Copies of this chain bind each other. A is one copy, B any other.
């Protein structure tokens, strides 16, 4: 159970040792929000933690505990969802980085498990940290890190609690998936309203939906958008390994830069 890649599993002297050989730390960021009836509310945080842990193990770096609660205004339409104002999240995450920077950490990988939605405020926190603390900050999101894989596999566009997310959960936290409750739903919208970074057509930029706009997906499939019934643990493993490998490569390159 003790896994020394997690900052909070270490005592301070172990962190002091670590800082002699590396200044990298991952900060996973998730959300607590509805993921249909077949996935748990903690899905985004769980996948952020799972990716962070694998990357940390393979790259030999530390990961901080997750920022569990994120920005989920649209999913407030269903119970259990928690949303924090993005202006508060910016300050909260900035303080995590600032504290760690005081101890000598210099390279921060902010890792979003809540595809797309958290990115905006993480960018703002990350820019401020770079500028004011003289540290380097990378922001990573699985949707951006698996464009090639999704294309290669012929995946549909990003939905919610969809095939990709469900497969991933089957692989990393299979005990939390209730496949029998999965329901498919294909959200129809104009091309220019697509938010998947893979879309090659012209698009508008992402703005989270209102609760009213979520209504159709709620009524049709209990908050799901996409085809979770097609999920498989094999695809989840491939996806997980793909994203992890990308990040491990990026970190290794980063470690040897000055």
Contact = CB atoms under 8 A, between A and B. Distances in A.
A11 B123 contact: no
Contact of A137 (B88, B112, B207, B253): B207
Contacts of A19: 79
Interface string A61-90: 000111111000100101111111111111
Interface residues on A, range: 35 or more
A91 B81 CA distance: 17
B103 A92 contact: no
Contacts of A122: 205
Contact of A127 (B1, B73, B181): B73
Given A68-B66, A92-B69, A250-B204, A124 B10 contact: no
A99 B80 CA distance: 8
10 contacts: A2-B175, A9-B42, A11-B178, A15-B79, A32-B64, A68-B68, A82-B95, A123-B205, A130-B210, A139-B204
Given A68-B68, A145-B202, 7 more contacts: A1-B175, A11-B37, A12-B78, A65-B68, A85-B91, A85-B95, A120-B120
